[in-house]
């Protein structure tokens, strides 16, 4: 049981380390709100926003470019897309 709790704690630390959940949620919410106006603008705007967030993190905040955050944003976008079909 202790090993299982340790694995869960490690997974939580891995997810929260780079704000993966935040990137997932922001992409989901941004797509969900913008798709009501135009599908093409929603897809391109959210994808551009995901990449620009990482560029901003790298250039202005002097952190590393995180592929995990981009993947989380794309997963949030895909989740919102499939829910809104």
- What's the pLDDT at 58? 80
- What's the pLDDT at 15? 65
Model confidence pLDDT, tens digit, residues 41-82: 999 999 999 898 888 878 877 777 778 888 999 999 999 999
> Is 39 or 59 the better-scoring residue by pLDDT?
39
**Statement: residue 7 has pLDDT above 90:** no
pTM (two decimals): 0.75
Q: Are the C-beta atoms of 23 and 11 separated by less than 8 Å?
A: no
Residue 21 makes CB contacts below 8 A (sequence gap 6+) with 15, 72
């Amino acid at each position: 049981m202790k090993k299982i709790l340790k694995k869960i704690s490690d997974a939580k630390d891995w997810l929260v380390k780079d704000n993966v959940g935040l990137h997932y949620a922001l992409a989901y919410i941004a797509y969900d709100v913008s798709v009501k106006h135009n599908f093409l603008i929603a897809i391109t705007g959210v994808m551009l926003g995901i990449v620009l967030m990482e560029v901003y993190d790298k250039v202005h905040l002097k952190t590393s470019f995180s592929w995990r955050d981009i993947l989380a944003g794309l997963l949030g976008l895909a989740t919102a897309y499939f829910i809104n079909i």
